[in-house]
Structure 1
Amino acid sequence: MQGVEQAVRHWLESVVVGLNLCPFAAATVREQRLRIVVSRAEEPVALLDDVQDEINRLDDRPATELDTTLIAIPRMLSRFDAYLDVLDEVERLLKRQGRIGVYQVASFHPAYRFDGLPPDDPSHLTNRAPVPLIHLLREASVAAAVA
């Protein structure tokens, strides 16, 4: 699992921060306010438990200590359509708990495709990652970063 974390960290530093795909990411990484957790889940229910654990962790710590979490999912969701189904479940979880507007979810997957674009469109590359990822972000931090 350590190899997965290293691959995600390398992608984050060289692609996301290195190519400035997300200006918000650079400071968060530099100030060590981003957590990378590698899920051992092999089924959606276990993954949703991991997501809940990370939501709780974000709830328990101020943004100055922990601002965002990347959950790497190496053992499941290799098919992009299955990944999208789980993302829908994560959104429903946030909605049930009244956390829409507190947290938002960003998505990254090795086979990421934006709906309605041709398969070879370069836009897909911005959301491609070495393994499926669920990114939990604090809405207030995102709003402050883009203000």
Structure 2
Amino acid sequence: MSTPAADHAAIIAATTSWLEKAVIGLNLCPFAKAVHVKKQIRYVVSDATTPEELLSTLMDELQRLSDTSPEAVDTTLLIHPHVLADFADYNEFLDVADAALEDMDLVGELQVASFHPQYQFADTHINDIENFTNRSPYPTLHLLREDSVERAVEAFPEAGDIFEKNIETLRKLGHDGWDKLMAEK
């Protein structure tokens, strides 16, 4: 199933809007703004409908990121709207993604972070606001360079506190505030 280019554009627009409003706007990731402003984020919409197809696309994108200069592309958002819509299935796929990194000998060079519309941290209820720190419009695998993560952490000494700060930010915002933020044009 191939998604029309216009649909790809709409998916990327929704993801970019979420990135600008939530991730950057709420400062959920203090490292995101620089790569966004420098246009170093590669947005890829996968037409995969099976985990196997997604794995193939993931491996292609991991290799592409590894082979590309960080100045050109520092990070990739692999958006996959047609596969792993169920969070439990998506969460299990993250082990497959980690195995792919190992198989490709990219551990220590790249890593995969996770975002999903139904993201749920362990020991939380589905609608707990802290889950929204990782809730994206579509299931998304975030491919990151280890070097970039290390540099960002060095630049932000309080990086270890980001998760707790994000929970506090979202608790203050609440569900109504989140809904209002996401509805803004």
* TM tier, smaller: over 0.9
* Partners of 1:61 and 1:77 in 2: CA distance: 27
* Partners of 1:113 and 1:130 in 2: CA distance: 14
The structure whose Rg is larger is 2
Q: Does 1:141 find its partner at 2:148?
A: yes
Q: Counterpart of 1:63 in 2: which secondary structure?
A: coil
Q: Does 1:111 find its partner at 2:121?
A: no
* Partners of 1:62 and 1:10 in 2: CA distance: 26
Q: Give the structure with the higher percent helix.
A: 2
Q: Report the AA paired with residue 8 of structure 1.
A: T
Q: Report the AA paired with residue 128 of structure 2.
A: D
* Partners of 1:60 and 1:99 in 2: CA distance: 11
The alpha carbon displacement at 1:23 in A equals 0.8
The alpha carbon displacement at 1:120 in A equals 3.3
Q: Counterpart of 1:91 in 2: which secondary structure?
A: helix
Instruction: Name the % identity.
Output: 43
What's the TM-score once normalised by structure 2's chain length?
A: 0.77
The alpha carbon displacement at 1:116 in A equals 1.3
Root mean square deviation, CA, Å: 1.0
Q: Report the AA paired with residue 139 of structure 2.
A: P
Q: How many residues are matched?
A: 147
Q: Report the AA paired with residue 58 of structure 1.
A: L
Match of 2:101 among 84, 89, 94: 94
What's the TM-score once normalised by structure 1's chain length?
A: 0.96
Q: Report the AA paired with residue 91 of structure 2.
A: L
* Partners of 2:56 and 2:125 in 1: CA distance: 35
1:85-133 CA-to-partner distances (Å, cap 9, x unmatched) read: 2111111110122211111111000000001123332210100010000
- Runs of 5+ in structure 2 lacking a partner? 1-7, 155-185
Structure 1 segments, 4+ long, off by >4 Å, are none
Give the alignment of 1:1-147 within 5 angstroms: 1-147=8-154
- Runs of 5+ in structure 1 lacking a partner? none
* Partners of 1:119 and 1:5 in 2: CA distance: 25
Q: Which has the higher contact order (CA 8 A, sep 6+)?
A: 1
